Chains A and B, each alone.
Chain A
Amino acid sequence: MKFGVVVFPGSNCDHDAFSAVSLNAGYSAQYLWHKDSQIPSDIDAIILPGGFSYGDYLRCGAIARFSPIMKEVVNFADRGGYVIGICNGFQILTESGLLPGVLLRNNSMKFICKDVFLKVENNTSAFTNKLIKGDILRIPVAHGEGNYFAEDDIIQELEDNNRVIFRYASPEGNVDDSTNLNGSINNIAGIINKNGNVLGMMPHPERYSDEILGCNDGINIFHSLANYLK
Chain B
Amino acid sequence: MNNYKAFVTIRLRDGILDVQGKTVENALHSMAFNSINNIKIGKYVELNVEAESFESAEEIVNQACMQLIANPIIEDYFIDLVESEE
Q: Which residues of A contact B (CB under 8 A)?
A: 58-59, 62-63, 66, 95, 101-102, 104-107, 109, 147, 149-151, 183
Within the assembled complex, what's the spacing in Å between the Cα atoms of A209 and B17? 34
Q: Which residues of B contact A (CB under 8 A)?
A: 16-17, 19-20, 22-23, 43, 68-69, 71, 73-74
A-B contact pairs, 11 of them (CB 8 A): A58-B69, A59-B71, A62-B71, A102-B74, A105-B17, A107-B17, A109-B19, A147-B17, A150-B73, A151-B73, A183-B17
Minimum CB distance partner of A59 in chain B: B71
Within the assembled complex, what's the spacing in Å between the Cα atoms of A149 and B22? 18
Within the assembled complex, what's the spacing in Å between the Cα atoms of A192 and B19? 27
Minimum CB distance partner of B17 in chain A: A107
* Of the residues A66, A101, A109, contact of B73 by C-beta under 8 Å: A101
Minimum CB distance partner of A94 in chain B: B73
* Of the residues B19, B20, B68, B71, contact of A107 by C-beta under 8 Å: B19
The minimal Cβ–Cβ distance linking B76 to chain A, given in whole angstroms, is: 14
Within the assembled complex, what's the spacing in Å between the Cα atoms of A59 and B23? 19
Within the assembled complex, what's the spacing in Å between the Cα atoms of A230 and B43? 48
The minimal Cβ–Cβ distance linking A20 to chain B, given in whole angstroms, is: 30
Establish whether residues B23 and A104, one from each chain, have CB atoms under 8 Å apart when the complex forms.
no
Minimum CB distance partner of B12 in chain A: A104
Within the assembled complex, what's the spacing in Å between the Cα atoms of A109 and B27? 13
Minimum CB distance partner of B45 in chain A: A58
Within the assembled complex, what's the spacing in Å between the Cα atoms of A42 and B19? 44
The minimal Cβ–Cβ distance linking B25 to chain A, given in whole angstroms, is: 11
* Of the residues B16, B23, B68, B74, contact of A109 by C-beta under 8 Å: B23
Minimum CB distance partner of B74 in chain A: A102
Within the assembled complex, what's the spacing in Å between the Cα atoms of A106 and B73? 17
Shortest Cβ-Cβ A-B pairs, 6 listed? A109-B19, A105-B19, A102-B73, A109-B23, A102-B74, A59-B71
* Of the residues B19, B71, B74, contact of A106 by C-beta under 8 Å: B19
Within the assembled complex, what's the spacing in Å between the Cα atoms of A193 and B73? 17
Given contacts A102-B73, A104-B74, A149-B74, contact A62 B68 (CB under 8 A): yes
Minimum CB distance partner of B69 in chain A: A58
The minimal Cβ–Cβ distance linking A73 to chain B, given in whole angstroms, is: 17
Residues of B within 8 A of A183 (CB): 17
Establish whether residues A104 and B16, one from each chain, have CB atoms under 8 Å apart when the complex forms.
yes
Residues of B within 8 A of A58 (CB): 43, 68-69
The minimal Cβ–Cβ distance linking B56 to chain A, given in whole angstroms, is: 22
Establish whether residues A149 and B68, one from each chain, have CB atoms under 8 Å apart when the complex forms.
no
Residues of A within 8 A of B68 (CB): 58, 62-63, 66
Establish whether residues A102 and B17, one from each chain, have CB atoms under 8 Å apart when the complex forms.
no
